Amino acid sequence: MADLPTNILSLPPGAIRKCFTPLENNPEIMSGLGWRLGLSRAVKFIDIYSIDEAEIIAMIPRPCYGLLLVFPVNKASEAFRTEEDTTLHSYDGSGEEEVIWFQQTIGTGCGIIALLHCLLNGKARSFVEADSDLGKLYQEILPMQPLQRANALCSSHALEMANELAAREGQSEVIAANTSMDLHFVCFTKSGSDNLWELDGRRKGPLIRGTLRAEEDVLDDAALNMGVRSFLRREAESGCQDLRFSLIGLVPA
């Protein structure tokens, strides 16, 4: 059974404008949601069963355009987030930039925010049809400041309806939109400038985790070491015994 996202109480006080029904980190659900919004069927999400076994990784269609990781929110993950965020400036970008980042102001909406981070950055963006709901939404919010973007996402009827349909297609019991959760989504993607980014709507902005070679994608060793493996290593070193992690990737269909 796939995992579900996020702790509504972990968002900054007063930040939540509305709540969406939580999504599963399920490749069929995320593929269907992406297609419904305007993603080309030339790509789809698949389960990533291992990030350490070369034989399993070798079976995955490449390139991998982005990763969606679900992880348990705990004292260790919150301590790292809080400490790292103290060193960062709040993001205030707008317009065409290396990556587009979305502040999460939708309670239990980290799944849809992570999906948008994945589909609207790097090479994945080229698979979004310009005249689709997602393509039009991207053009609308591109020139906006971060809070304006977040408000536009909250107000998007097409986005909310697509999310609600997807939430009811999963294997798990549908969870009410205002339910407190202890799991959260984060996206890893590669930009056109070959940088690896961690994109999380709960942070102060987009986080650059390193630089890749032109031929490397988010499933190459360098990207995994700077991204998902580093993330999981921190959890292990903290003594975390919670194994509720799941990973899916956007790949050629």
Q: What is the pLDDT of residues 162-187, one digit of tens each?
A: 999 999 987 666 665 666 668 899 99
- Per cent of the chain over pLDDT 70 is 87
User: What is the predicted pLDDT for the residue at 5?
Assistant: 37
The strand pair at 106-107 and 18-19 is best described as parallel
pLDDT at 131: 97
Residues 3-24 have a mean pLDDT of: 61
Residue 4: pLDDT over 50: no
Specify the pLDDT at position 229. 94
Domains of the chain: 18-252 (3.40.532.10)
Residue found by looking up tokens 């799944």 in the block: 111
- pLDDT given at position 121: 98
Residue 75 has pLDDT above 90, yes or no: no
- pLDDT, position 8: 39
Active site residues: 110, 184
Does residue 228 carry a pLDDT above 50? yes
Q: What is the pLDDT of residues 118-140, one digit of tens each?
A: 999 999 999 999 999 999 999 99
76 or 130, which is more confident: 130
- The residue ranking higher by pLDDT, 4 or 107, is 107
Q: Cα dist. 222→26, 60, 154, 227 in Å?
A: 25, 17, 35, 8
- The mean of the pLDDT values for the chain is 89
> Does position 14 have pLDDT exceeding 50, yes or no?
no
